[in-house]
Amino acid sequence: MRLEGKVALITGAGSGIGRAAAVRFAAEGARIVASDISEASAAETAAIVGESGGEATGSGGDVVSSSDAMAMVQAAVEAYGRLDVLLNSAGVSGRVDGATHEEVWDKVIDVNLKGTYLVSWHAVPEMEKAGGGSIINIGSIMSLVGYPVGMGGGFNPYNASKGGVLQFTRNLAVDLARKNIRVNCICPGYVETNMTRPLTENPESYEFLKERHPMGRLGQPEDIANAALFLASDEAAFVTGAPLIVDGGYTAQ
């Protein structure tokens, strides 16, 4: 049991990477607070964890709201008495229908970057009380590279938001290292989730993306959950400020 006795708060836990991480962490002994902007989805994840023999509670909330972010952290403390692990998995893409380019920019930066900042801000004091902890942020290969030619990514705020997440990770890691709080960033390739469904449902774009990954496939949420488990565990005791690239070889080209 690699997370025995630990309490983990996971944002964006209603689906995709967040849900997979909740199930994986619980299987390794962690007690889970599954948070999502959809309270029903958060409760569903908590139920799935419970059906698998784990312990979890659901918590609705918007990571862009400081009061909601604080409530997520407090839900962990009230339910389980402490907070050891935070996985900032809540995120959105730049594909927002019916919005102006400026509204899309603000939405993506708010959720992906500000949301990561706010939940971390409220989590750190509780981790200090617990004697340390692990914060895991979800970046992207787009934290490191630009979109391929032809994808029209020049004004897409997603790269800027995820690049910001990586730099926030490094800065926070240095600041918190002496407090025994590790901060790391997973940089996934394209993963088959609700967020990428508009791309994977289109046969042409799906094949294009698979070809961009040397392994010939897109990632699965469980691929990222397994990486997050390592960073959450004591096996990563000397890892902080690091981008962990999980991309099937995408950025090696």
What positions carry a catalytic annotation? 158
CA 150, distance to chain mean position in Å, is 28
Largest interatomic CA distance in the chain: 51
Helix (H) or strand (E) holding 186: strand 181-188
Please tell me the distance from the alpha carbon of residue 57 to that of residue 76, in angstroms, as a whole number.
8
DSSP H helical ranges for 28-156: 39-51, 66-80, 101-108, 115-130
| Residue among 125, 118, 158, 120 nearest 142 (CA) | 158
Are 19 and 48 spatial neighbours (Cβ–Cβ below 8 Å)? yes
The residues near 6 (Cβ < 8 Å, ≥ 6 apart) are 29, 30, 31, 84, 85, 232
| Residue among 152, 153, 123 nearest 135 (CA) | 123
